[in-house]
Amino acid sequence: MLLVVAVIAMAAQATLESNAPRADGKFENEAGPREMAMWEIIKARFTTEQIDKRPKTEVPLQRLHRADLEAAYGPMLYRLGHSSVLIKLGDQYVLTDPVFSKRASPVQWAGPRRFHPVPIDFQELPRIHAVVISHDHYDHLDKGSVKRLAAQVENFVVPVGVGAHLRRWGIDATRIHELNWWQSLELEGLTLTATPAQHFSGRGLTDGNKTLWASWVIEGASAKLFFSGDTGYFDGFREIGERLGPFDITMIETGAYNKLWASVHMLPEQGLQAHLDLRGKAMLPIHNSTFDLAFHPWYEPMERATALGEEHNVNVLTPVIGAPVSVLEPSPGHAWWRTVATQTETASIESVNMGAEPAG
pLDDT tens per residue, range 117-159 = 999 999 999 999 999 999 999 999 999 999 999 999 999 999 9
Report the pLDDT value the prediction gives residue 6, as an integer from 0 to 100.
34
Report the pLDDT value the prediction gives residue 41, as an integer from 0 to 100.
73
How many Å apart are CA 163 and CA 173, to the nearest integer? Answer: 8
Query: How many alpha carbons fall within 13 Å on the CB side of residue 181?
Result: 25
CA distances from 351 to 41, 109, 215, 329 (A): 24, 35, 33, 33
Give the rounded distance of the alpha carbon of 331 from its chain centre.
20
In a structure prediction context, what are the per-residue pLDDT tens digits for the chain, which is 360 residues long?
333 333 333 334 433 344 788 888 899 998 766 566 666 777 767 667 778 999 999 999 999 999 999 999 999 999 999 999 999 999 999 999 999 999 999 999 999 999 999 999 999 999 999 999 999 999 999 999 999 999 999 999 999 999 999 999 999 999 999 999 999 999 999 999 999 999 999 999 999 999 999 999 999 999 999 999 999 999 999 999 999 999 999 999 999 999 999 999 999 999 999 999 999 999 999 999 999 999 999 999 999 999 999 999 999 999 999 999 999 999 988 999 998 865 455 555 555 554 444 555
Q: Report the amino acid identity of residue 67.
A: A
Q: Are strands 184-187 and 324-326 parallel, antiparallel or unpaired?
A: unpaired
Residues 79-109 as b or e (16 or more Cβ within 10 Å = b): bbbbbbbbbbbeebbbbbbbbbbebbbeeee
Domains of the chain, earliest start first: 2-14+51-353 (3.60.15.10)
